[in-house]
Amino acid sequence: MAITTSFSLPGYNWRKGKRAWDKHTWLYVSVLIAVVLGAAVGLIWPEFAQSLEPLGKGFVSLIKMMIAPIIFCTIVVGVGSIAKAATVGKIGGLALVYFMLMSTFALAIGLVVGNIIHPGTGLDMAGASYDATTTEAKSTQDFILGIIPTTFFSAFTGESVLQVLFIALLVGFTVQGLGEKGAPIMAAVKHLQVLVFRILGMILWLAPIGAFGAIAAVVGKTGIAAIWGLGLLMVAFYITCIVFIIGVLGTLLYAVTRLNIFQLIKYLGREYLLIVGTSSSESALPRLIAKMEHVGVSKPVVGITVPTGYSFNLDGTAIYLTMASLFIAAGMGQPMSIGEQIGLLLFMIIASKGAAGVTGAGLATLAGGLQAYRPDLVDGVGVIVGIDRFMSEGRALTNFTGNAVATLLIGTWTKQIDPARARRVLGGGEPFDESMLDGSSHDGMSTATDAVGTQGLEEAAVAELAAKETRAKARAQR
């Protein structure tokens, strides 16, 4: 299945989806085996295990190599997504405000939980760090001036991720300002993004080797404490995601729509299984669009909210990024100050956009955030690799649920939902027709989406919304 960004995702093909399931399942199992073997080697032959540390460092170096192009492409395309959403009036503007608020809230929750449980404390990961005194700003003035690169292209050859972010924002807003003249440039960036994520996908096939070396080295130095620390982080992350879905999203959903979050989760059960198999919420995008329309939300709301949410509504990714950052900092014996945590949060709000739909993008974004604010901690990402695969499902499931809830909320706020139908569908009174998505009738998408694709669906939704507004104005004038 091709890796693409939102607003340009292809129609989902059932047979390709099955192959993607098999591929990701094999990688998942390989990482699991590597983690178990690495922990065993670390406990049985600790000295030999410590000599395997370069395997983890080498994998992290490959991830670091991809930080600049990933940040550049996702930000430029993300700015384009903002521009598209902002042109569709009330729905797009409301969706963007909601997404930004919820992502920020999720990041803050991750920081709060991380500061309470202190995951990683007591681990001996300091050997993975390097002397980054030459890259740290001496003052606020130096920090701000350091964001400006010497030349336009030097940002991509240096080690400052903030310089790449600065250039990406300039390019993104400039391309949008060019209008139709900027369309070929945006298309070129999207093609580049496909290439970049394909390369990242190839690198991820080395994850078992990197995880084996990193876990073996840490367990060899620390012993059983390393396994306990990693387990604590995973358990805390999943508990935080569950609390966020039920406590935050569930409460908000019931307060606004009077719909039950557990009924919604049951309704989306097949999509959750698909996401678990592929570790990516992108695989369930066509089904989410079809099911949100079936539940009673209007096509304009679904066509605008769902694709936009796949770039901007990254609740699970936000929780993961902050908790993993605090784990690495504590594990390397260099906890982050409150100021550094706030700076990291602000960076993640921008840089995480577009990381939801692609397996492994969250890991690259994590490395990018640390490279920007604490480059001495980046090599600690090698330890996270061992459990990243186990946490990717939690990220994808939380992101997916957040987008489903957002669609229902936006539909309610804009009065473009049939509440009676929504209650009837979620209550099981009107089941979803799976024959539209089972591969025997179509290749995984509803008729409308199969015909025009996600981008066409979004454009059709915008056109339909504009037509409704025109008709409403005409009636008002009469």
Q: Output the pLDDT for position 452.
A: 33
Residue 265: pLDDT over 90: yes
- Higher-scoring residue by pLDDT: 470, 36: 36
* Residue 299 host element (H or E): helix 299-312
**Minimal CA–CA distance to 74: which of 365, 452, 448, 383?**
365
Residue 294: pLDDT over 80: yes
Residue 122 CA to residue 116 CA, distance in Å, equals 15
Residue 429 DSSP label: S
The pLDDT-based confidence of 255 (bands split at 50, 70, 90) is very high
pTM for the model? 0.70
What DSSP line would sit under 129-185, residue for residue?
----TTTS-SSHHHHHHHTS-SSTTHHHHSS-HHHHHHHHHHHHHHHHHTGGGGHHH
The chain-wide mean pLDDT, for the chain, equals 75
**Minimal CA–CA distance to 9: which of 81, 66, 67, 71?**
81
Sign of the torsion angle spanned by Cα atoms 284, 230, 215, 34? negative
Phi, psi of 358 (to 5 degrees): -120, 125
Q: Output the pLDDT for position 8.
A: 38
Burial tier of 331 (Cβ tally within 10 Å: 0-12, 13-18, 19+): buried
Phi-psi region of 415 (alpha: psi -120 to 50; beta: other; left: phi over 0): left
CA angle 244, 250, 251 (to 5 degrees): 100
The pLDDT-based confidence of 300 (bands split at 50, 70, 90) is confident
Q: Output the pLDDT for position 438.
A: 46
Length of the chain counted residue by residue = 478
What DSSP line would sit under 364-413, residue for residue?
HHHHHHHHHH-GGGGGGHHHHHHHHHHHHHHHHHHHHHHHHHHHHHHHHH
Q: Output the pLDDT for position 267.
A: 93
The pLDDT-based confidence of 408 (bands split at 50, 70, 90) is very high
User: 98 Cβ partners below 8 Å, 6+ apart?
Assistant: 313, 406, 409, 410
Residue 287 CA to residue 251 CA, distance in Å, equals 24
**Minimal CA–CA distance to 171: which of 158, 147, 152?**
152
Q: Output the pLDDT for position 351.
A: 65
pLDDT in tens, 128-181: 444 444 344 445 566 677 778 888 888 787 767 778 878 888 888 888 788 788
pLDDT in tens, 195-246: 888 888 788 788 888 888 888 888 887 777 777 878 888 888 999 999 999 9
Task: Give Cα 41 to chain centroid, integer Å.
Answer: 33
The pLDDT-based confidence of 469 (bands split at 50, 70, 90) is low
Residue 379: pLDDT over 90: no
Q: Output the pLDDT for position 12.
A: 41
- List strand residue ranges (DSSP E) for 226-372, in order: none
pLDDT in tens, 53-108: 888 878 878 887 887 888 788 778 777 666 665 555 677 778 888 888 888 888 88
User: 24 Cβ partners below 8 Å, 6+ apart?
Assistant: 277, 278, 279, 280, 359
What distances in angstroms separate CA 380 from CA 112, 239, 325, 363, 376, one per listed residue? Answer: 21, 23, 9, 12, 9
CB 276 within 8 Å of CB 433: no
Phi-psi region of 431 (alpha: psi -120 to 50; beta: other; left: phi over 0): beta
User: 341 Cβ partners below 8 Å, 6+ apart?
Assistant: 111, 115, 322, 326
Phi, psi of 190 (to 5 degrees): -65, -40
What percent of the chain lies above the pLDDT cut of 90?
Answer: 13
* Residue 105 host element (H or E): helix 90-117
Residue 116: pLDDT over 80: yes
Q: Output the pLDDT for position 189.
A: 87
Residue 279: pLDDT over 70: no
Determine the residue type at 333: G
The pLDDT-based confidence of 280 (bands split at 50, 70, 90) is low
Phi-psi region of 149 (alpha: psi -120 to 50; beta: other; left: phi over 0): beta
What percent of the chain lies above the pLDDT cut of 70?
Answer: 73
pLDDT in tens, 431-468: 887 665 544 333 333 333 332 334 444 455 555 555 55
CB 285 within 8 Å of CB 400: no
